[in-house]
Amino acid sequence: MTQSPMWKELTAAEIRALAAADATVLLPVASMEQHGPHLAVGVDTVLCEGVCRLAAEAVQGEMPVIVAPTLWCGMAEHHMAFGGTFTFDIPTYRAVLLAFLKSIERHGFKKVLIVNGHGGNISALAAFLPDFAVETGLKVRATTYFELAQPGIDTVLEDQERIRHACEGETSLMMALAPDLVRHDKLPEAVGPTHSTPRPLGVARFRSYKSFSDTGVVGDARRASREKGERLAVVCRDAIVGVLKDAEAWA
């Protein structure tokens, strides 16, 4: 019987053995937030952990990899107006992530790939990386799986070139990885603007999703399908595997 790559499904002794074997830790970080009328609020967490698991399973027998428990809360103030959402502030998010990393380090692991599944976390993670490099002895790398896999995602989707929010892409992935969490009867309502509101070049601002999307959707989920989701899952899996196997990424 093949051993699970999931930290939460292993014994302490099995985890110690993986650390001794110099396993790479995949640390999924995501969010718990509204995803329109048709998707459960756990979308980012379900999908991020799901693609990490697929990647770890894909390399079993080639290299040791373990998927740490998913940090299911992130930076999601922009979704709070719709309800159903949890959010951190910046100091709390940094502190929790650092605590996760220090725990991983204390168990003897040396390499961690933070795999992000929520757009609102991207800027914070980039800002934290220098601190994590200084405050731990780990090789910490970070990526957002749907940005990493963007070239392949573009070949699967019909109405959009990239993952947006509760859209053709995310809905398709949920149909493939967690179909019971899709409310198919609500799909006719699951449409929103094509893009979030543009801003002048070089000018940053905060806007609630409620200010530009009545449904909480950016994109059109009506074009989603399980078949697209299965193809997207493979593309995302392979992108993560590529980083795991890339010696230059860990140099």
Residue 149: closest CA among 236, 50, 248? 236
Task: List pLDDT tens digits, range 186-209.
Answer: 999 999 998 766 666 778 889 999
Q: What is the pLDDT of residue 53?
A: 98
Q: What is the pLDDT of residue 195?
A: 77
Q: What is the pLDDT of residue 203?
A: 83
Residues shown for the chain:
251
Residue percentage of the chain with pLDDT more than 90: 94
d(CA 108, CA 111): 10
Q: Which residues of 21-49 are buried (b: 16+ CB within 10 A; e: fewer)?
A: eebbbbbbbbbbbbbbbbbbbbbbbbbbb
Distances (CA, A) of 244 to 61, 178, 247: 14, 25, 8
Ranges of residues in the chain whose predicted pLDDT is under 70: 196-200
Task: List pLDDT tens digits, range 22-37.
Answer: 999 999 999 999 999 9
Q: What is the pLDDT of residue 213?
A: 95
Q: What is the pLDDT of residue 58?
A: 98
Structural domains in the chain, sorted by start: 7-250 (3.40.50.10310)
Q: What are phi and psi of 217, to 5 degrees?
A: -105, 140
